[in-house]
Structure 1
Amino acid sequence: METDNLLGQFLRARRELLQPEDVGLPAGARRRVAGLRREEVAQLAGVSTDYYVRLEQGRERHPSAQVVDALARVLELEEDAVAYLHRLARPATGRRRPAARREQVSPNLLRMMASWPHTPAVVLGRRLTVLAANTLGEALFAGHTHSGDLVRLVFLDPDAREFYPDWDRVAVNTVAGLRAAAGVDHDDPQLVEVVGELSIKSRAFRELWARHDIRQKTHESKRFRHPLVGELTLHYESLTVNSAPGQQLVVYQADPGSPSEEALSLLGSLVTEPGPRRPPSPAAPGPHRPSGPAATRRPPQES
């Protein structure tokens, strides 16, 4: 994963996603480049073509805030992507990477999650791995090869497209969320490992990663087709854990009185019944997750 010219990579990727008609320009004759031309972006942003070319090539790395805002407007960036572009233009200096440490979840947060027997909740780390889950949260994602890693679950798990009926939308949002969670720290060794593996094994991931979409995981409605209770539509809210920068608490709820609420209640009754529980899948251990149904082993397939 190239990290030497993140600003230029981002600008080029977003430029190539736009067509002339998207920004009020005539399409003209057959074009030899994908998306907008560099000179078109420069003209619309009010900068010289030479200056914009230097930005994409990495020969100019610190555009002013006014230029960044102008480029964001031309490239039709959403709020999260605008903030990301500003961070690329003004990276922190003198930052030393801290020693790698295992991400830990606060015991107080774990107790709070455990007190929600009817509400699925998970804590995600910076690479969207499941650091902790309450009983119902673990049950919601249990039974897959990659239950403890939401990115690998979407792109490498053989059951992903069955589990997520709206897989295409989930895939786009997952990659955008991974980029947002990683921020500008793209030389994080664990992130490099995840992106490298997924780029090799999943063409869909490669193509989406190349788009440079940036979107924080905030709130959304999502459909699941659960192997035990069937289809559910759940609304989630993602909350920042201020005591642990980079962690997100994600809480799911169903509409009151809906079939999804009934299915969620049934799932809760199934996982709280007395009796022996199977051990967690070795592919998706969680440091603070209860055991769940064993995953069926199948080799990952190209998405």
Structure 2
Amino acid sequence: MSGQRELGNFLQTRRAQLRPEDVGLPDYGDRRRVPGLRREELALLAGVSSSYYTRLEQGQSVGASPEVLDAIARALHLDEAEQRHLHDLAGSVKRRTVVHRPPAEHVDATTFNLLEAFGDVPALVSGRRSDVLAWNRMGHALFASHIDPAGPADPGNRPNLARLIFLDPHTRALYADWPSKARAVVENLRMTAGRHPDDALLTSLVGELTMKSPEFAAMWADHGVSPCDSAVYEMHHPLVGSLTVTQQSLRPPQDEERHIVLAVAEPGSPSEAALRLLAQATAPPALLERPADHV
């Protein structure tokens, strides 16, 4: 991914979303050839010259200071995630990036033990590119019961959450509001791409999804960014029916690349009962046995 092109496209899409009245500028009712603010209007709000801002959007300037970027972020009304993304993109333009194939991701024994400690709470570990690096029994049962539970153990063929969401009909059918889930996946992937423009596997994934899914291509073109920290989703599970869970993303200490994703239902709710039913239905026979002296 070209850092200069990505930076320019991000600025253009954000500028196109602002109207003069949104930022306190007069609107004289003139017809605009393109939506949103003009470049010179944005430059005025940011306190930079129009020519400088134009060069920045066109990828002809690589020396934007943090102060200038902050001023542009304020002018564009960027939120915290978008501001971080802007700085990530500008940083990738400054340094000369060499696309390389990164080593396979792995999960240490401590994280495996943590997954098991969650018990009947569905949990999985997602890597930098949304590969499933590991999951507990309930994580597999809730999110991808139709695929091989041993899949995450093979680095070359791990399930990928983005591929599942956009290309797998079973996963798509899990979510009552599929567009909301899909957009969250894309916006989180955008943030990762801004931090790692030299990741060849990530570039390949984005290219694959763009070619195979028009919906992904359209969402990617919006340049939206947002971390997948916490969201409530209604799910339609083929075994236990409808349930509503909060999908919470946690980061292991000193690790921004991997996330532990949990699915938690409200205590005492029908959704919690559905998760208990799923745990019973998918439990290995040994877990269902009761010692004779307990009968």
TM range (shorter): 0.7 to 0.9
Aligned pair partner of 2:226 in 210, 215, 227: 215
| Shift in alpha-carbon separation, 1:171–1:21, aligned structure 2, 3 A | farther
Equivalent residue, structure 2, for 1:24: 24
**1:222 match: secondary structure:** strand
DSSP-derived class of the 1:232 partner: strand
Residue aligning to 2:130: 128
CA distance in 2, matches of 1:162, 1:274: 29
Structure 2's unaligned 5+ residue stretches are 149-157, 287-295
Instruction: Pick which of 37-46 and 159-168 moved more.
Output: 159-168
- Aligned-residue offset at 1:268: 0.6
Percentage identity across aligned positions? 44
Q: Is the 8 A contact 1:144 1:157 kept in 2?
A: no
Cα deviation for residue 29 of structure 1 reads 2.6
Report how many aligned residue pairs link the two structures: 275
Distance, in Å, in 2 between the alignment partners of 1:95 and 1:15 is 27
Matched, 1:79 2:80: yes
Q: Name the CA distance, whole Å, in 1 between partners of 2:219 and 2:63.
A: 26
Match for 2:260 among 249, 252, 266? Answer: 249
Deviates more, 1:50-59 or 1:157-166: 157-166
The Cα of 1:126 is off from its aligned counterpart by: 0.6
Conservation of the 8 A alpha-carbon contact between 1:155 and 1:205: yes
Q: How far apart are the structure 1 equivalents of 2:147 and 2:55?
A: 45
Corresponding residue for residue 117 of structure 1: 119
| Structure with higher RCO (Cα < 8 A, 6+ apart) | 1
Encode CA deviations 1:28-80: one digit per residue, 9 max, x unaligned.
23221132221121122121111110100111122222221121122221111
Which residue of structure 2 aligns with residue 10 of structure 1?
Answer: 10
Q: 1:3 and 1:51, CA in 2 relative to 1: closer, same or farther beyond 3 A?
A: closer
Partner amino acid for 2:178? W
Deviation at 1:128, TM superposition (A): 1.0
Higher-Rg structure is 2
What is the Cα-based RMSD across aligned positions, in Å? Answer: 2.4
In 2: Cα distance, 1:113 partner to 1:43 partner: 52
In 2, Cα distance between the equivalents of 1:96 and 1:31? 40
Give the aligned partner of residue 42 of structure 1. 43
Partners of 2:137 and 2:28 in 1: CA distance:
55
After alignment, is 120-129 or 2-11 more displaced?
A: 2-11
The one-letter code sitting in structure 2 at the alignment partner of 1:248 is H
> Does the 8 Å CA contact 1:160/1:167 hold for their aligned counterparts?
no
Decide whether aligned partners of structure 1 residues 106 and 269 sit closer, same or farther in structure 2, where only a CA change above 3 A counts.
same
Judge conservation of contact 1:118–1:265 (CA < 8 Å) in 2. yes
| Residue in 2 that maps onto 1:172 | 183
The one of 137, 140, 158 aligned to 2:169: 158
Residue 242 of structure 1 and its aligned partner are, at CA, apart by: 3.3
Tell me which amino acid in the other structure corresponds to 1:22. D
- The 8 Å contact of residues 63 and 89 in structure 1, kept in 2 or not, is answered as yes
Q: What is the CA-CA distance between 1:122 and the residue it aligns to? A: 0.6
- State the secondary structure of the residue aligned to 1:5: helix
The residue matched to 2:285 in structure 1 has which SS? Answer: coil
Compare the two structures and name the one with the higher helix fraction: 2
Query: 1:186 matched to which residue of 2?
Result: 197
Letter in 1 for 2:198: D
Alignment partners' CA distance in 2, 1:243 and 1:96: 25
Distance in 2 of aligned mates of 1:137 and 1:11: 38
TM-score, normalised with respect to structure 2: 0.85
Residue number in structure 1 paired with 2:155: none
User: Partners of 1:77 and 1:225 in 2: how far apart?
Assistant: 35
Judging changes above 3 Å, is the alpha-carbon distance between structure 1 residues 86 and 100 closer, same or farther for their aligned structure 2 residues? closer
The code of the aligned residue for 1:11 comes to L
Aligned-partner SS, 1:7? helix
Aligned residue identity for 1:30: R
Q: Aligned letter for 1:31? A: R
Please report how far the alpha carbon of residue 160 of structure 1 lies from its aligned counterpart in structure 2 after TM superposition.
4.3
The 1:238/1:7 distance shift into structure 2, 3 A limit, reads same
Give the distance between the partners of 2:96 and 2:59, measured in 1 at CA: 20
- Which residues of structure 1 form unaligned runs of 5+? 276-303
